[in-house]
Structure 1
Amino acid sequence: MTHRLVFDLMTAERAVRRWIDARSGGSGIGAAGAGVLFHLAAHGDALIGDVGAALGASPSGMSGLVSRLEKGGFVTKAPDSGDGRAVRLALTPLGRQAVGTAREVVTELNAELTDGFTAAELDVVARWLGRTTQRLS
């Protein structure tokens, strides 16, 4: 049997994004925005470039995403105190609330994705995904 891993991986990624986006509760955050919020929740104020690097996002993609999150009241932007050209992001109270909602959505998604698989099977999937990311980065 020939596996179409690249096609299957890309199709699965789009399905996951659509699933998350459909459950964003009209917030407009979506999958990419949730990634930004999760990063800020774990790392506090962070440089936009660092958030983009952690998410594997392009500078232009981050710019638009951050603008939408700022307009929605989820994050604030401020110049970095050490480098006036750099910009830091911080969660607002609404952003912190959205992190909780996004965690619930991701917990539900993880349960959906892992249903019917053994721990050993999931370990193989996780190892394959991690190796793929490492080898291609």
Structure 2
Amino acid sequence: MDIVRLGKFIGALHRRFQTAMNHELALPDINASNANFLLYIGENNRVTAKEITTELAINKGLVSREMTRLEAGGYITRLPDDTDHRITWISVTPQGLTACETIRQIKQSLWDQVLDDTTDADLETVFTQLATWSEKAKQFDQTK
């Protein structure tokens, strides 16, 4: 197997989905990048920017800029921790939850188009393997 091609396929899938999401999204201040951030916040309400950075493998500068955009759009709130001023909690707003539902619907529609002839068993196998590889790849975060 040509492992370089595997990486190419994964990268191309990601970029194509980002492009398609940007075309489909009609929410103010939401793009394909911060849509993923918003989904993560919506699923894990009350998170820190560091958690987002770590879990989504995104640099902290981009996370900070996109949190500012999402907050200005009314999708999230950022509140300092009462006991530790170094921590800022990020929470989704009701408007953010509504946007999350729209984003999920768009993502589902796009994946339905790509996976239309994929069996549930094959999909489960791919999902499990990607999750395993993702966990193993977290070791690269330690080498920074």
TM-score normalized by the length of structure 1: 0.87
Aligned to 1:17: 18
Query: How far apart are residue 96 of structure 1 and its match?
Result: 1.8
Residues 56-71 of structure 1: pairs in structure 2 closer than 5 A: 56-71=57-72
Aligned to 1:82: 83
Query: Which amino acid in 1 is paired with 2:25?
Result: S
Query: How far apart are residue 42 of structure 1 and its match?
Result: 2.2
Change (3 A) 1:26 1:96: closer
Contact kept, 8 Å, 2:27 with 2:99, in 1: the verdict is no
Aligned to 1:106: 107
Query: How far apart are residue 69 of structure 1 and its match?
Result: 0.8
Change (3 A) 1:127 1:93: closer
Give CA deviations for 1:83-123 in whole Å, capped at 9, x if unaligned.
Answer: 11211112223212211211211221231222111122222
Q: Residues of 1 paired with 2:72 and 2:29: CA distance?
A: 10
Unmatched segments (≥5 aa) in structure 2: 139-144
Aligned to 1:55: 56
Aligned to 2:116: 115
Aligned to 2:137: 136
Q: Residues of 1 paired with 2:47 and 2:127: CA distance?
A: 27
Give the RMSD, CA atoms, in angstroms. 1.9
Q: Which runs of 4+ in 1 moved over 4 A?
A: none
TM-score normalized by the length of structure 2: 0.83
Q: Name the count of aligned residue pairs.
A: 137
Identity of aligned residues (%): 24
Q: Secondary structure at the match of 2:68?
A: helix
Q: Residues of 2 paired with 1:34 and 1:26: CA distance?
A: 10
Q: Residues of 2 paired with 1:39 and 1:6: CA distance?
A: 24
Q: Residues of 1 paired with 2:116 and 2:75: CA distance?
A: 32
Q: Secondary structure at the match of 1:45?
A: coil
Q: Residues of 2 paired with 1:83 and 1:44: CA distance?
A: 19
